[in-house]
Chains A and B, each alone.
Chain A
């Protein structure tokens, strides 16, 4: 945590500050920050016309821009940090929650709630994030079982359910991506079935999940969920050293004295819950969790004490910039943010794939 104040992060903080200011100014109604700044401290503006315009600006700032800013930053931080942690835990730099199907699982949970659950279940503010988390957990459990098949093998072979784990339960890139395809296919077809049973109004709501967007920033249930996301992702930073050891292999982490089952299991559940909540709030925003940890590693090396916070900061910056593009390039309409991150992120993904083939 002390590393967050390190001078090495200084340029990232400056970039983030610029992104924050830019994201407050730009939009369908451009804000004049200097006027706003003065108006916040002095109520007695003489000019009535100017004052009513300022009121609108104030309203836009407080009701639209700031909530959206907070949502965008939190989603970016969570996607960056969880992405870095997923990559380390699955020992594969391509293990992004989107690519391996965890985000799709979360979307299934959310869609199931919208189409079926809202009629039958308790209709509380937190129902949506909770069902999304459950969906995400199902996808992670599936991925985990696929990646650990050799542990399962040992257990069945020796009829022993104690804490053994095989020496190298790593998943090579091909297997990981195939597992991701399978999990994505499964949840996407469930989503398809659910959409088949949805009505007109639900349908419009559902397209939101497939493309990702920050338009729900002002919902009343957003704030507690944001705090939950920040809390769960911050826990990763405390376990950075264990994550380092786990990224070499479960056996290495065990040799070095880490409680593999507890730390790995705990981190997987925490990050999956964070991803579930992120998807509940903003839909599927792809590639941020894949790309940001890579840039962080280019800047700071592989040590997760640096990579995790740097990925979080980079994620926040990237998401704010993508959101500015999303809401300005097709004015007065708005492009879904997932389209922007996908357009920028997928070439990067292809480049990584080519690079990993060459190894």
Chain B
């Protein structure tokens, strides 16, 4: 689905990403992991096309992002970025309805249904008539996620070839909303959606991700299967902290970080 090969990017004198290569397979849940300032958001912005790749290539379905028209790209991928403040008093439903313009003609027929299901899944039904700029950070994130799901045409259940890019989408959400959102993403992945997200909570990565890439100071430390890559020595290397794997009575294994 996405091929990143030998991408190097510098801002001023600082090298933000150094010789990154990563392949993203369709219908998988992929996480970008690393400490602050590792280049996670920059890598995601390369995938969204916000930042052009100066050296190396980012291919989306074997075409560079610049070869796509914005409208064509918007039918195939949705983005939830890290910050979304607005100076204008938009209502939440107006924010979500902005994604209607992006829908393909097939998806557009069910536009209001996409909105309805997406808001149900993100549990924001009661927020729809309220002003977006007056919501809490977590509520805003849920609205933005609902907009992305609407843009992906959630009511049509046709996720093959579609991509969802998220930058710390759950950082301000309540824990129950976080878990519900990840469970939803997992379900959509099993139906063909490809998800790439920057995520901080290592246990969430361990629980939900299929593939991870570990970044530190702009360099790729490791990448691959999430369960195999999130090893104690990698976590120590990234964050300088210890970690343990704890099995619950249910048989689920969790990743616990500690001093």
Contacts and interface: CB of A to CB of B under 8 A. Distances in A.
Given A255-B79, A303-B94, A241 B101 contact: yes
Contact of A164 (B51, B89, B102): B51
B129 to A, nearest CB: 10
Interface string A225-253: 00000000000000001101101110110
B88 A93 contact: yes
B78 interface: yes
Interface stretch (A67-75, A104-112, A257-265): A257-265
B134 to A, nearest CB: 11
Interface string B80-93: 01011011111100
B52 A257 contact: no
B173 to A, nearest CB: 20
B94 A244 contact: yes
A159 B55 CA distance: 10
Contacts of A168: 83
Task: Report which residue of B69, B78, B88, B89 has the largest number of chain A beta carbons within 10 angstroms of its beta carbon.
Answer: B88
Nearest to A241: B101
B246 interface: no
A301 B10 contact: no
A302 B73 contact: no
B135 interface: no
Given A158-B52, A162-B52, A241 B11 contact: no
A256 B70 CA distance: 8
Nearest to B100: A241
B94 A301 contact: yes
A160 B74 contact: no
Given A158-B54, A163-B52, A251 B71 contact: no
A327 interface: no
Contacts, number: 106
Interface string A129-168: 0000000000000000000000001100111101111111
Nearest to A168: B83
A249 B95 CA distance: 12
Interface in B22-73: 45, 48-52, 54, 66, 69-73
B211 interface: no
Contact of A297 (B71, B88, B102): B88
A165 B50 contact: yes
A65 interface: no
Given A157-B12, A252-B84, A259 B70 contact: yes
Contacts of A242: 101
Contact of B70 (A88, A164, A257): A257
Contacts of A166: 50-51
B9 to A, nearest CB: 6
Contacts of A157: 10-12
Contacts of A241: 98, 101
Contact of A93 (B12, B51, B78, B87): B87
A92 B86 CA distance: 9
Contact of B11 (A154, A160, A252, A254): A154
A259 to B, nearest CB: 5
B119 interface: no
A162 B67 CA distance: 11
B99 interface: yes
Contacts of A158: 9-11, 51-52, 54
Interface in A154-213: 154, 157-160, 162-168
A256 B101 contact: yes
Contact of A257 (B11, B12, B45, B101): B101
Contacts of A254: 48-50, 70
B151 interface: yes
A239 to B, nearest CB: 11
A249 B86 CA distance: 8
Given A164-B50, A165-B50, A241-B98, A251 B87 contact: no
B70 A159 contact: no
B170 interface: no
B77 to A, nearest CB: 8
Nearest to B102: A257
Interface of A: 88, 91-93, 153-154, 157-160, 162-168, 241-242, 244-245, 247-249, 251-252, 254-260, 297, 301-303
Given A241-B98, A247-B88, A301-B91, 10 more contacts: A154-B51, A158-B9, A158-B11, A166-B50, A167-B83, A255-B81, A256-B98, A257-B70, A301-B89, A302-B90
Ranked nearest first, the 4 interchain pairs of A and B with the lowest CB-CB distance are A257-B74, A158-B54, A164-B52, A302-B88
